[in-house]
């Protein structure tokens, strides 16, 4: 039997890939391990490659005969079992390198959030000459009457139709996987981003308190942040075209200055009514480092990027002070009695 090579890419929220599936006479099985219901992705892979579709919950095959394994794991050990065996693995859930076997989940052997639209032939020739399994079966058996065809289709649909309990189980499992993935991503973001910044902030405040730098800040920065003209000067300095792209990356400068000002607001060294305009004053440069990247992602013409980048940078000199003035107006009466 002639097998066809296919390419599998990740979905919009996926990880890994693309994978090239190259079945042969020995490695010609699509192993589906997605519960009692065969995944449409697994069916499509088997149809396109010409491989045999095997339900992993009903039977098993030797590892060296598996061309690709299809799973629906939300982040437990199952999504790493087949990558550990160096078997091409397709996960229909949007899960990356997580779980107890995360070290085996690599982009060259694993792809996730896969849908039928992520499957394609490796070249146009295969796509144009390929026949579906149904067409090959029809050609082998000869012509059928209309009634026979309808009866066979109805029988196949009835056989594959999942029961009520199965449908409920699949739906609950899908929802649980979504919540599990969201929780895992949230914890991962906290560990990678929030906790390190909290540690940095604590260290910075400790150094400021122990070194007496807080008094210097209170006598230098506080007077500027305690008046509207001072905040306008800060916003203009942050928005200077040759400075804003340098101050912008990672928002590190804005975060650090924000921590310092926050301490001064907490100590009442700066009146609270200036908190909102101060926020806009120190953030006039935010996003300036991303302007050329954003224009490129928007497929802007080279001339648009050439003139658009300086135009946006210079516009910050105008929009920065305007934002401070608007924030100052809206902050009036925000903290009554303080």
Q: Which residues are known to be catalytic?
A: 73
Bin 113: left if φ > 0, else alpha if -120 < ψ < 50, else beta: left
Beta strands in 9-121 (DSSP E): 19-21, 29-33, 52-55, 66-71, 89-91, 110-112, 119-121
Integer CA distances (angstroms), 171 to 40, 167, 175, 193, 203, in order: 15, 6, 6, 33, 47
Question: Residue 86 CA to chain centroid, in angstroms?
Answer: 25
Backbone angles phi, psi at 191, to 5 degrees: -70, -40
From the number of C-beta atoms within 10 Å of its C-beta (0-12, 13-18, 19+), residue 218 rates as middle
Quick one: which H or E segment has residue 201?
Answer: helix 195-211
Quick one: which H or E segment has residue 8?
Answer: strand 6-8
Nearest to 4 by CA among 97, 133, 113: 133
Euclidean distance between CA atoms 277 and 288, whole angstroms: 19
DSSP characters over 255-269: HHHHHHHHHHHHTTS
């Amino acid at each position: 039997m002639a097998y066809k090579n296919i390419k599998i890419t990740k979905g919009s929220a996926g990880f890994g890939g693309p994978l090239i599936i190259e079945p042969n006479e020995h490695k010609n099985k699509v192993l589906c391990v997605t519960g009692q219901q065969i995944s449409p992705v697994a069916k499509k892979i088997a149809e396109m490659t010409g491989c045999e579709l095997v339900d992993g919950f009903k039977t098993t095959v030797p590892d060296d005969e598996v061309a690709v394994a299809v799973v629906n794991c939300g982040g437990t050990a199952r999504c790493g079992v087949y990558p550990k065996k160096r078997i091409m693995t397709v996960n229909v859930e949007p899960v990356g390198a997580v779980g107890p076997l995360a070290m085996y989940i690599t982009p060259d052997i694993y792809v996730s959030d896969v849908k039928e639209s992520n499957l394609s032939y490796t070249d146009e020739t295969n796509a144009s000459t390929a026949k579906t399994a149904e067409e090959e079966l029809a050609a082998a058996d000869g012509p059928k009457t209309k009634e026979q065809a309808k009866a066979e289709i109805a029988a196949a649909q009835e056989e594959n139709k999942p029961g009520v309990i199965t449908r409920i189980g699949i739906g609950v499992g899908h929802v649980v996987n979504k919540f599990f993935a969201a929780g895992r991503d949230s914890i991962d973001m906290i560990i990678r981003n929030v906790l390190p910044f909290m540690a940095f902030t604590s260290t910075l405040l400790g150094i400021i308190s122990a070194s007496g730098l807080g008094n210097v800040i209170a006598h230098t920065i506080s007077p500027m942040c305690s008046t509207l003209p001072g905040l306008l000067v800060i916003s203009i300095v942050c928005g200077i075209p040759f400075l804003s792209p340098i101050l912008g990356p990672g928002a590190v400068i804005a975060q650090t200055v924000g921590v310092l000002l926050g301490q001064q607001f907490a100590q009442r060294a700066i009146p609270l009514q200036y908190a909102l305009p101060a926020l806009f004053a120190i953030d006039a440069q935010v996003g300036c480092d991303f302007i050329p990247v954003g224009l490129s992602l928007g497929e802007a013409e080279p001339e648009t990027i050439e003139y658009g980048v300086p135009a946006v940078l210079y516009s910050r000199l105008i929009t920065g002070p305007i934002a401070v003035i608007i924030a100052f107006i809206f902050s009036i009466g925000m903290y009554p009695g303080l």
